[in-house]
Structure 1
Amino acid sequence: MKKILITGAKSYVGTSFVKWVSQYPGTYSIDTLSLRDDKWKETSFKGYDVVFHTVGIAHVDAKPEMESLYYKVNRDLTIEAAQKAKKDGVKQFVFMSSIIVYGDSSYINKPRIITKDTVPTPANFYGNSKLQAEEGIKALESDDFNISIIRPPMIYGKESKGNYPKLAKAAQKLPVFPDIENQRSMLHIDNLSEFIRMIVENEESGTFFPQNSEYVKTSEMVKIIAEVHNRKIKMTRIFNPILGAVSKKVGIVNKVFGNLVYDQSLSDYKENYRVWNLNESIIATEK
């Protein structure tokens, strides 16, 4: 039985992982630990095979006054947790990083494909804090302490945060939606949970880029969500010139309609972790 400690007692990824592995009774023993104050430092990590670190600030506006907090939580706390895990004899440390280490989405109509040769270029202190955390924990790796870094694209699923629920709301209310050609890498929470389970089971080390098997076109996804709710939503290109011009000045437009994908070869793994395709995942999320 694998003993796993999840740091981040109420994190979306952590709680979802606990639910997912519950279908494997007797295989995993999981505890959670909040790192909101320094009391966690008094907790021994001895006896755990894995520390799955999900603590981090993500879905908060990156306002300048929050910069120090981002580095404190995303970088410093990650490194401290990894140092303690190594000191207490834990064999593997799994860290939830993000595609954000590569910067923002491209403008509308401008492809952006991340390959194995793409160098991380964070666009803000959110991405930079994640990248510095990666660098800090990789320095701790040794023959008996494996570091697994996960750089997922946008994660979505039931009760997720971020842009997906906003798009789902739009799909249920708007009569029309912009039809813009774009591609996004996305990852359903169950696909991520299964991937993490495999990373733990195989005691992996390295940097990983899980994603769904299909790229997502934003308008197509909104259309599927609407159909799940028995709605028809009309796709229109009438707004495309305006959105194309605005995208060069308004970042949120690029987050929704810009391009940002991993080359699919980056996301291949020796086992199949993609339990849902796009249509199935949206049905699972919306129903």
Structure 2
Amino acid sequence: MKKRILITGLNSYVGNSFTSFCANDFEIDKISLKNDEWRKLDFSKYDSILHVAGIAHTSKDPSLKGLYYRVNVDLTAEVAQKAKHDGVKQFIFMSSIIIYGDSASIGKTKVIDENSQPNPNDFYGDSKLQAEKRLAELKCENFKIAIVRPPMIYGDGSKGNYPKLVKLAKYAFIFPNIENQRSVLHIDKLSQELKSIVENGYDGVFMPQDDRYFCTSEFIKEYRKSIGKKTYLTKAFNPFIKLLARKIGFINKVFGNLIYKLNP
């Protein structure tokens, strides 16, 4: 008998990709949490809940801080409490590498492993961390909690910084040559990781990533090559880029370093 999975969030990139990837493996339903109708549903028929509903890292506007905590923390805890009450055996929470803070500045290294302590530097990252802590209070032998902390996710239809890099690559015939390293994760590999967590009933913390690190300059060069365009990489811009990175967070994300330790 196939396991039954409930995904929170109707329009999630991760949720929709997982649904397509595992269409023949599980019976999957999706619900919206935008109103209170979900509270009337019976969760008891589900083996696992994949909680991907939430507010993404779209704004640092202080006026939105309360909303982030209500949705990413309180709502997560409420869904998990209902799942536990209804007899669901496993709750999978989509957290993020962001709980460890920003990238290291250009030229410096930031390596994260299972012993690294979370240190979020904005309310989005902290909302994810606080949600993890609330979930930890609910876990028990009959209610397993799996926390997934992916790095930047990429693939067809992805959102966030990856599409911005692709757009930039189309026009960047000259590009800074900076040797940085970032952990990234293809959406199919994430779906496979989630599939394994469900199939085996795993709990604990998971930090999935691709088998090799991502270098922004090399990505730009290889992407342009794939669309038949040449790229000139130069270090002439590097001093200017380093100055910009101190003041513009996106620049530091693009060229900074943030990696999970690769397992041998």
Q: Which runs of 5+ in 1 are unaligned?
A: 269-287
- Aligned pair 1:174/2:172, yes or no? yes
Q: For residues 264 and 229 of structure 1, what CA distance do their matches in structure 2 show?
A: 30
How far residue 177 of structure 1 moved from its aligned partner, in angstroms, is: 1.2
**Within 2, Cα distance between the matches of 1:12 and 1:101?**
20
**What displacement does 1:130 show?**
0.2
- 1:232, distance to aligned residue in structure 2 (A): 1.2
Aligned residue runs from structure 1 range 38-49, under 5 A: 38-49=36-47
What residue number does 2:11 align with?
A: 10
Equivalent position of 2:195 in the other structure: 197
Checking the alignment, whether the CA contact within 8 Å between 1:70 and 1:125 is kept in structure 2 is yes
Q: Which is further off, 83-92 or 174-183?
A: 174-183
SS at match of 1:77: helix
CA RMSD of aligned residues (A): 1.0
Asked if residue 19 in structure 1 is aligned to residue 20 in structure 2, the reply is yes
- Paired with 1:90 and 1:228, the residues of 2 have a C-alpha distance of 46
Query: What's the offset of the Cα at 1:13?
Result: 0.3
CA deviations 1:68-98 (Å, max 9, x no partner) are 0110111111111100100010010000000
Decide which of 211, 220, 223 is 2:221's aligned counterpart.
223
Would the aligned equivalents of 2:57 and 2:124 in 1 still touch at CA under 8 Å? no
Output the TM-score relative to the length of structure 1.
0.90
Cα distance, 1:170 vs structure 2: 1.3
Question: What SS does the corresponding residue of 2:247 show, helix, strand or coil?
Answer: coil
Of 119, 122, 132 in structure 1, the residue corresponding to residue 120 of structure 2 is: 122
Cα shift readout 1:113-164 (whole Å, capped 9, x = no counterpart): 1122211001000000000000001110111111000000011111111111
Which residue identity is paired with 1:69? L
Distance 1:17 1:55 in 2: 14
Matched residue SS, 2:146 = strand
Write the deviation string for residues 52-81 of structure 1: whole angstroms up to 9, x where unpaired. 000121141121111001101111111111
Which residue matches 2:69?
71
Name the counterpart of 1:100. Answer: 98
Equivalent pairs: percent with the same residue?
51
- Does residue 61 (structure 1) correspond to residue 75 (structure 2)? The answer is no
Q: Which residue of 1 aligns with 2:182?
A: 184
SS of the residue corresponding to residue 109 of structure 2 reads coil
CA distance, structure 2, for counterparts of residue 30 and residue 228 of structure 1: 36
> Contact 1:177 / 1:219 at 8 angstroms: preserved in 2?
yes
The answer to whether the aligner puts 1:28 opposite 2:26 as a matched pair is yes
Match for residue 151 of structure 2? 153
Q: Which moved more, 1:199-208 or 1:164-173?
A: 164-173
C-alpha distance in 1 between matches for 2:257 and 2:76: 29
Tell me, yes or no, if the aligned pair for 1:59 and 1:161 is still in contact at 8 Å. no
Whole-Å separation in 2 of the counterparts to 1:87 and 1:205: 18
Unmatched 5+ stretches in structure 2: none
In structure 1, the partner of 2:132 is 134
State how far apart, in whole Å, the 1-side matches of 2:82 and 2:225 are: 48
CA distance in 2, matches of 1:221, 1:76: 38
Give runs of aligned pairs for residues 205-244 of structure 1, distance below 5 A.
205-244=203-242
Structure 1 residue identity aligned to 2:92: V
Which stretches of structure 1, 4 residues or longer, exceed 3 Å deviation after superposition?
none
Q: How far off its partner does 1:21 sit?
A: 0.8
Aligned to 1:90: 88
